[in-house]
Amino acid sequence: MLYTQTLFKEHTERKKKEKKKLEKKMGRGKIEIKRIENSSNRQVTYSKRKNGILKKAKEISVLCDAQVSLILFGASGKMHEYISPSTTLIDILDRYQRASGKTLWDAKHENLSNEIDRIKKENDSMQIDLRHLKGEDITSLNYKELMALEESLENGLTGVRDKKMEVHRMFKRNGKILEDENKELNFLLQQHMALEGVGNMHGQWI
């Protein structure tokens, strides 16, 4: 009798466990893909799935050395994006345009983009030249480049010295002009005082 009860209990427990596993499995079943009517539930689902898809984009980029560009706009209009560190959105769009044959922008925009790239490259080059002139980041320069840099510095220093001398001469010339004008004013003042003195003396004699 005791043995039978034990078997029955084990059978019951096993059935309960199987039922729980079945319920759990059914709970993970596919949901119907349609618009979620409840706005709160819709926002929660978007947030969860947005984080999931961004995570997957990062994973495939790292694991498979893939170039990924992902842009999401929620119902509120807020944007979320992921771009593989090894590329840029512009490069991705250019590759898509070439591969698909679809035109994403007209010639005017393409020319503008090329002009922006050109100006950016010029600016980067000028920044590098400026650092070199300040004596920074010059370890990678070869002998010819160092000679050219030294010549540029010497030409610049010569120009600064010439300008300095020009300013000094102008300052000196202006000082001489002021000195001459001051002497002339003193002379006129002395003449005026002398004439007033003569006039006073003549009045006393009369």
pLDDT digits 0-9 by tens, 179-202: 878 888 887 788 777 777 655 655
Whether residue 122 sits in one domain with residue 99: no
Q: In terms of residue numbers, what domain contains 126?
A: 105-140
Whether residue 155 sits in one domain with residue 133: no
Residue 29 lies in a domain: no
Query: What is the rounded average pLDDT for all residues in the chain?
Result: 80
In 3D, which of 41, 53, 105, 104 has the Cα closest to residue 80?
Answer: 53
> pTM for the complete prediction?
0.40
For position 76, what pLDDT does the model report?
87
Q: Give the total number of structural domains in the chain.
A: 3
